[in-house]
Amino acid sequence: MKIRYNSLGDFISLLETEGELVRIKEPVSPILEITEITDRVSKSAGGGKALLFENVEGADFPLLINAYGSKKRINLALGGNIEEIAGRISKLINMPTPQTIGEKLSRLKTVLEIGSYTPKISKGKAPCQEVVAYGEDVNLLEFPILQCWPGDAGRFITFPLVFTKSLKDGKRNVGMYRMQVYDKNSTGMHWHIHKGGAEHYRQHCAANKRMELAVAIGTDPAITYSATAPLPDGIDELLLAGFIREKGVELTRCKTVDIMVPAQAEIILEGYVDPNELKEEGPFGDHTGYYSLKGDYPVFHVTAITRRKNPIYFTTIVGKPPMEDCYMGKATERIFLPMLKMMVQEIADISMPWEGVFHNCVIVSIDKRYPMQAKKVMSALWGTGQMSFSKMLLLVDSDIDISNHTAVARHLLDTIDIERDITISEGILDVLDHSAPNALYGGKIGIDATRSIDGEPPRQEITKLSNGELTEEQIREISPDIVSAGSPFSDTKNRLILISIDKKRGFQARETAEKLLKNISIFPYNIMLFLDKDVDSKDFSTALWRLFNNVDPQKDMFKIEGLLIIDATKKLLEEGHNREWPEDIVMDKETIEKVDIKWPTLNIG
């Protein structure tokens, strides 16, 4: 049965009916405490429950978080079944040319249905404008805006829908860009250089014209999700929201700027950005699990706040996976697969492991029909929309279950020829990627783990150096820098060992690898992954997260005596890394202890 919502309140009611919502009445601080509570819940089995904090210290309104943070809740949020949405998109883009009168009438019906998904002007007074504040009465601090992590520069609005218009053609963009709160009526506007909001900003800068915009907080789930979706340029995010809801979004005009916003939203911020004004923004604990660094960004001046009489402040936190955004990323993976398959037709399926934080690793299965087709697909994906940010692409055959990431890792190690199957390239990277020496671009890697077919050069037979294992003690005896070592798989053809080192100087991974090979006559591994000392070499998931985040394939993957060495340690200035290396996101001890004391009273279960 299709589930539709007109507002965030409708969704909350369903979550409560489904037993997916916990109301927390205990006073809780928005400074770090809500993050610590939510992080524990989101990392519990299945993502825990949605949390409604009804008594946030220093704020007038309740706060909703982790609303999308499970497989069940993200399906409920988008109408009940994500795969059904993907199926509708697939049917639409693969619709054959009509031949008969009946088929033409059917096509007309489809066109009329799509027309009903376009935004509509709301009649009567919009709920988002029940209460209006202008000028000096504007006060962002009445809302329970979070400081998420100890190293954050302040409080951040983390689930804003930013509405902007193009100067060239008036087209709308709806994006989600974090907003650091500077004071009661101004924030930063952190739009990434590759995104639609940033393009509209560049247009206004070129024209030296003030840029009007509006921010919606707390819309129905389809609208909130659509602001995060990787749509092609020029496609209205609200049309996608209407398609998901099967009903057009109701809009109303703002009070002080010429922007249309969702009428049923909880809160609207109206204002402008001056193209001649920048201010330092950040750091911020980001979805990579690291702090994104400070930088100069435009300032958003709030000219009005409109809201419901009793609004709910909707927010999220991001950090080391798994968290709420992982489930939103999985929804994007499934919903946009039909569009990706239309553009690259041999694709059978894709999977983005959580450890890859969306853009750092994509597993792709293909229907392979001719030589070097895997490399053709790599090139195609690196030139396609937001897939162009992907740093690591792993290609396998269509009969491989790519949802089973452990099985994929085994298949990779049992299949690849290190000399033949690894392609190192260079291209654009996500703005949050810190591994490359230069911001916004760096090394990429494509791995062909498909079966060889006629016409391709044969893979070299993988020669095991030894069938044995080395104990951790034997390895640690070679170098005092080695903290721990372990192999996740003992029976694959390519042998992988993870080695954590106490890094104190540049190129220490290479130095340690050379020392191991010099002192061990028969080394039973041909792939070495080096990690910093705080990573347990037995924790394969965390090791992968560091691999995907910390490695620039151009400079951090190299061979010694035919062995593949991967350096996933923190890089130093002497290694040619001229950028600041961000810190891991870790909650402070004081907050953890406060939440430990409060936990039994929260009734989370």
Rounded CA-CA distance 429/553 in Å is 12
Contacts 24+ apart (CB under 8 A), 382-385: 382/425, 382/427, 382/444, 384/340, 384/343, 384/344, 385/230, 385/232
Tell me the average pLDDT across 210-216: 97
Which band of pLDDT confidence, cut at 50, 70 and 90, is reported for residue 104?
Answer: very low
Per-residue confidence (pLDDT) for residue 111, from 0 to 100: 47
pLDDT tens digits for 530-552?
A: 999 999 999 999 999 999 999 99
Mind listing the pLDDT tens digit for each residue in 494-528? 999 999 999 999 999 999 999 999 988 778 889 99
Does the pLDDT value for residue 99 go beyond 70?
no
> Does residue 199 carry a pLDDT above 60?
yes
Can you tell me the mean pLDDT for 14-43? 97
The residue among 520 and 104 whose pLDDT is bigger is 520
pTM for the structure as a whole:
0.92
Rounded Cα–Cα distance for residues 215 and 224 (Å): 11
State pLDDT tens for residues 355-373.
Answer: 998 889 999 999 999 999 9
DSSP string for 153-177: SS-EE-S-EEEEE-TTT--EEEE--
Q: pLDDT for 442-460, tens place per residue? A: 999 999 999 999 999 888 8
Q: How far apart are CA 94 and CA 362, in angstroms?
A: 24
CA 577-579-584 angle, 5° bins? 100
Active-site residue, from 152, 286, 325, 448? 286
Please give the pLDDT value at position 115: 66
DSSP reduced 3-state for 486: strand
Q: Residue 108 pLDDT more than 80?
A: no
Say whether 399 is catalytic: no
Q: What is the mean pLDDT of the chain?
A: 92
Question: How many angstroms separate the Cα of 603 from the Cα of each of 26, 51, 180, 315, 477?
Answer: 9, 11, 31, 21, 49
Q: Which helix (H) or strand (E) holds 335?
A: helix 324-335
CA distance 341 to 346: 7
Confidence of residue 574 (pLDDT cuts 50, 70, 90): very high
Structure confidence by residue, pLDDT tens digits, 395-444: 999 999 999 999 999 999 999 999 999 999 999 998 889 999 998 999 99
DSSP state at residue 94:
T
Q: Identify whether the C-beta of residue 268 lies closer than 8 Å to the C-beta of residue 128.
A: yes
Domains annotated on the chain, with CATH: 8-314 (2.30.110.10), 324-448 (3.40.1670.10), 472-575 (3.40.1670.10)
Q: CA nearest 601: which of 25, 21, 20?
A: 25
Asked if pLDDT for residue 105 goes beyond 50, the answer is no
Give the span between the Cα atoms of 575 and 148, in whole angstroms: 32
pLDDT band at 594; cut points 50, 70, 90: very high
Kindly state the tokens that stand for 236. Answer: 């209205």
Average pLDDT over residues 17-40: 97
